[in-house]
Amino acid sequence: MLGYSAAVFSSIGVALTLRKIFSKYTTGLTGGKAIAATSAISYIAVANASFLNTYFMRLSEMKQGVAVIDEEGNKRGVSPIAAKSAVLQTAKSRTILPLPIFAVPGCFFYLLDR
């Protein structure tokens, strides 16, 4: 529940804050420019939500650690450092995964408008 709540509230908060900050630049934009600006702001909000959701969903693994296994499949121990590294790598990748979904249409409509 913590991961979901963090993702939802941070996404809404980031989106509203960015819209407020950039409102003087985005007011009056039409067509492809408006779609590109909206896509950029939405992407940042979604990327933030994805990162926080992954981070908080795997928080217990980072505290307890994960099993470290050698090349032969033997368990060598439990490592919180390895867990933190794995969770942060996964969370970072989750911020990049939605990029094409937001960038391609925004860029396409911007270029089409030109």
The candidate with the shortest Cα–Cα distance to 87, out of 56, 42, 45, is: 56
pLDDT in tens, 90-103: 999 999 999 998 88
The candidate with the shortest Cα–Cα distance to 61, out of 85, 31, 40, 39, is: 85
pLDDT in tens, 1-46: 877 888 888 889 988 998 889 888 888 888 888 888 888 898 999 9
pLDDT of residue 62: 92
- Taking 80 as the threshold, does the pLDDT of residue 54 lie above it? yes
